[in-house]
Amino acid sequence: MFDLNDIWRAYDLKASQAPSQWRNKVREHLTRTANMQVGCRTEQGKGKVNYTLATLEALYAYAMWVEVTLTFNNTTATITSNDEGMFDLNDIYRKFGLKGRKQPSDWRGKAKDKLFETANLRVEKGGRDKDGKPSTKTLATLEALYAYAMWVDVEFYMVVVEAFAALTRGETEKAEELSSVVTKVCASCLYNRL
């Protein structure tokens, strides 16, 4: 098992990205299924030290909460979460050079409605961008980010469908191979360095 606190310190992540700040349904599930153990131990010379032990699956989930790299629309870009682990879909719109009716505010449908209902998606108005102009953020969990990417790009959509089909057939390696074509999390970078 890996201590997420060691990883957090080694990569000099923001205080808001500390394992103790990771609070969502995924973390709850990982803790319930014994993929994560949280506690405190006493170390000589350091006193009490918090730990968050995680399986490889939990390490990947933590990394996705921090940062994700997507490939679609013939572009690859890394999207970083905010202090709450949410991603701004407007960043995707800008980084992927999307045009026309592909802005987050143009996204319609039952999937978007359900994501709003379940607090996986929300709109924040009233902020200012770097030029001081009024800005709106469309904040999304990782699941909502994927749903938006599926709406924007049919190739991304088809990879998600094909990966899910492979999973239902028990072909986990095939599903992993398919998903790696369109998404990468920093956990793979972290894991290779451990």
Would you give the DSSP letter of residue 71? Answer: E
59: burial class by Cβ within 10 Å (0-12, 13-18, 19+)?
Answer: buried
Length of the chain as a residue count: 194
- What pLDDT is recorded for position 193? 39
How deeply is 1 buried, as exposed, middle or buried, from its count of CB atoms within 10 A (0-12, 13-18, 19+)? Answer: middle
Cβ-Cβ contacts under 8 Å for 80 (sequence gap 6 or more): 66, 67, 87
Angle between helices 154-168 and 172-182 (to 10 degrees): 170
What residue ranges of the chain have pLDDT lower than 70? 83, 184-194
Q: Give the model's pLDDT for residue 127.
A: 75
Look at residue 82 in the predicted model and tell me its pLDDT: 80
Domain boundaries defined on the chain: 2-63, 69-184
**Which pLDDT score, from 0 to 100, does residue 86 have?**
85
pTM score above 0.95:
no
